Amino acid sequence: MREDIHTTGVPVLCASCEARHRGICGALNSEQLAALAKSTKRHKAEAGKELVGDSRSVERFSNVLSGVVKLTKTLSDGRQQIVGLQFAPDFLGRPFQSESTLTAEAATDVELCSFPRQTLERMMKEQPNLEHRLLEQKLRELDQARDWMVALGRKTAAEKIASFLLMIARNIDPAVSLEGRGAAFDLPLSRAEIADFLGLTVETVSRQITRLRGEKIIRVENNRHVIIDDMSRLAARAGD
Amino acid sequence: MREDIHTTGVPVLCASCEARHRGICGALNSEQLAALAKSTKRHKAEAGKELVGDSRSVERFSNVLSGVVKLTKTLSDGRQQIVGLQFAPDFLGRPFQSESTLTAEAATDVELCSFPRQTLERMMKEQPNLEHRLLEQKLRELDQARDWMVALGRKTAAEKIASFLLMIARNIDPAVSLEGRGAAFDLPLSRAEIADFLGLTVETVSRQITRLRGEKIIRVENNRHVIIDDMSRLAARAGD
DNA sequence: CGTCACGTTGAACGGGATCAATCCCGGTGG
DNA sequence: CCACCGGGATTGATCCCGTTCAACGTGACG
């Protein structure tokens, strides 16, 4: 399978990179990959590191290679809202706009592959396929954003938590969506971050998780590791 | 100004169409416009008409020429959330996906210019510029969606209403955003729809509007017509 | 050991929801 | 002309979910 992607001439950097088949780099042939790789830099950032600052100019875009990046918006008085989560091999950046309107921060330790904004925008003109991939990625982000708007506006705290756990489970282990079987994973977010994502307070998040634990729907180990014991009952609580 | 758009050979249908300079059709030359115009249909729909049904297949995309379209999502028990509003000359449709995951409905009387999904998707391959326009439109929608996530998750009822009024004012009369001067406009949504947009109840929406009226920040005539008397005080209440 | 960050638990409060009555206004028919 | 109707909007009274404030638990690290 995937014989359409020939690895001859592909930069070593890209050879085993997930962004090359599921991410935007899949739009490029080996020549173009090589050209892009010239100005490309792979690097790690540890949890908590700010990657893109609000209203600061953005000179580089990246692919997320591993870990989770959170996108947040902050009101003047400090209230915060997470408006998106990005998993590998998502593209991180807002093309055609030099100022960022949000903050991107490493939620877990992450690996990134970054390249200059200008390089990407130039390549998009030469290779429409690249712009196509980008469009598809942004359409997915839009779909997700709208799903969360429903959660934020209309779901109860209990439903928000259930939806959140399901969403994480599906992103960590795509098999979950197909089979109704259980799942286990590490939460990429702290309680405070979950609260910022769901428009709740830490206390409410904690109480709702305790509740699900009490009803034997999930188990929690070390605060971060979650095991879903009763997937269908959890899904029933998601509300939609 | 705008001598870059020559009108010779442009289909009559498109000659005075706003979508041709601010909308996606601006990406097309007169030949391509003519080709598209062949399978294009202009029509009106009155307020309340369902344009695109949830989980129904979508065979046509459109440009909004006038009026306002609301995009809604509904939970199984009937709770509803408006996840987007579209004004002229916005593009209406979700490319690369035949099933819609939301409902599009005329909020006011609207005029649309629609064309078959397949035609557009074919043209995008020939004319990358078209895909570029679409990307920009969808990026704008994404930015808006994220702004509203902050409102839904973190703003109080009073702040939500203030932000909503400002947002509508800016969309109806773009001059508002530049100058701080007052504005007057007709609300494109009923109280119930505003509630669905802001994640509130009708009663709360009504009370907050009454409050703003009491504080002489706005005036309201015939329930639908709003005059902003004190723009800066209104902006101060938006919260961000 | 103390400290500090993070999470949990408890008690009281309050903003917005809920339930219910009333108003307002355009339309329709006598 | 007025009487009646129906849908949307407003207003009031009460309730409840999630917040707020506060105390306490737990583990990592000096």
Contact A150, A143 (CB under 8 A): no
DSSP secondary-structure letter at B101?
S
DSSP states of A113-162 as a string? EEEEHHHHHHHHHH-HHHHHHHHHHHHHHHHHHHHHHHHHHH--HHHHHH
Backbone phi and psi for residue B69, each to the nearest 5 degrees, phi listed first: -110, 135
DSSP states of B162-219 as a string? HHHHHHHHHHH-THHHHS---EEEE-SS-HHHHHHHHT--HHHHHHHHHHHHHTTSEE
User: Is residue A107 within 8 angstroms of chain B, CB to CB?
Assistant: no
Q: What is the pLDDT of residues B30-39, one digit of tens each?
A: 999 999 999 9
CA distance A202 to A187: 15
Interchain CB contacts (distance < 8 Å): A and B:
116
Contact A204, A162 (CB under 8 A): no
Closest CA to B107 of B19, B45, B63: B45
> What integer pLDDT is reported at residue A1 of this predicted model?
46
Residues in chain B predicted with pLDDT less than 50, given as ranges, are 1-3
Q: Is the pLDDT of residue A7 over 70?
A: no
Q: Where are the domains of chain B?
A: 12-147, 156-238
The alpha carbon of residue A162 is apart from the nearest alpha carbon of chain B, in Å, by: 15
| Residues of chain A found within 8 Å of residue B201, distances taken between Cβ atoms | none
Q: Determine what percent of chain B is predicted with pLDDT higher than 70.
A: 97
Q: What is the pLDDT of residues A183-196, one digit of tens each?
A: 999 999 999 999 99
User: Is residue A46 within 8 angstroms of chain B, CB to CB?
Assistant: no
> What integer pLDDT is reported at residue B9 of this predicted model?
82
CA distance B209 to B194: 11
Q: Could you tell me the two tokens for B139?
A: 């990026």
Å from the A48 CA to the C2 C1': 26
Q: Is the CB of B191 under 7 A from strand D?
A: yes
Q: Determine what percent of chain A is predicted with pLDDT higher than 70.
A: 97
Specify which residue's alpha carbon is closest to the C1' of nucleotide D9. B206
Local confidence band at A54 (pLDDT 50, 70, 90 cut-offs): confident
Same fold, A12-147 and A156-238: no
CA geometry: angle A78, A80, A85, nearest 5 deg? 150
Which homologous superfamily is A12-147 in? Jelly Rolls (2.60.120.10)
- Across A58-69, average pLDDT: 96
Q: How many CA atoms lie within 13 A of B209 on its CB side?
A: 24
With H, G, I as helix, E, B as strand and everything else as coil, classify residue B77. Answer: coil
CA distance A188 to A69: 9
The residue with greater pLDDT, A179 or B184, is B184
Local confidence band at A174 (pLDDT 50, 70, 90 cut-offs): confident
> What integer pLDDT is reported at residue B125 of this predicted model?
92
Local confidence band at A177 (pLDDT 50, 70, 90 cut-offs): confident
> What integer pLDDT is reported at residue B3 of this predicted model?
47
When CB atoms are compared, the residue of B81, B135, B150 closest to A150 is: B81
Q: Could you tell me the two tokens for B65?
A: 């020429």
The nearest alpha carbon in chain A to B79 belongs to A154
The pairs formed by A52-56 with CB atoms below 8 angstroms and a separation of 24 or more are: A52/A92, A52/A93, A52/A100, A52/A102, A52/A103, A52/A104, A53/A100, A53/A103, A54/A100, A54/A101, A54/A102, A54/A103, A55/A99, A55/A100, A55/A101, A56/A99, A56/A100
Q: Is the pLDDT of residue A4 over 70?
A: no
Number of Cβ atoms within 10 Å of the Cβ of A233:
15
Q: Could you tell me the two tokens for B213?
A: 């009226």
User: Is residue A25 within 8 angstroms of chain B, CB to CB?
Assistant: no
**C strand bases under 7 Å from protein CB:** 6-11, 15-20, 26
Q: What is the pLDDT of residues A84-94, one digit of tens each?
A: 999 999 999 99
pTM over the 0.75 mark? yes
B156-238: in CATH 1.10.10.10:
yes
> What integer pLDDT is reported at residue B175 of this predicted model?
80
Residues 6+ apart with CB under 8 A from B146: A71, A73, A83, A84, A101, A102, A145
- Provide the residue type at A204 as one letter: T
DSSP states of chain A as a string? --TTS--TT--HHHHT-GGGTTSGGGGS-HHHHHHHHHT-EEEEE-TT-EEE-TTSB--EEEEEEESEEEEEEE-TTS-EEEEEEEETT-EE--TT-SB-SSEEEESS-EEEEEEEHHHHHHHHHH-HHHHHHHHHHHHHHHHHHHHHHHHHHH--HHHHHHHHHHHHHHHH-THHHHS---EEEE-SS-HHHHHHHHT--HHHHHHHHHHHHHTTSEEEETTTEEEES-HHHHHHHT--
Q: Is the CB of B205 under 7 A from strand D?
A: yes
Contact A64, A92 (CB under 8 A): yes
The residue with greater pLDDT, A216 or A182, is A216
Q: Is the pLDDT of residue A6 over 60?
A: no
With H, G, I as helix, E, B as strand and everything else as coil, classify residue B98. Answer: coil
> What integer pLDDT is reported at residue B7 of this predicted model?
61
Q: Is the pLDDT of residue A5 over 80?
A: no
> What integer pLDDT is reported at residue A3 of this predicted model?
47
> What integer pLDDT is reported at residue B1 of this predicted model?
47
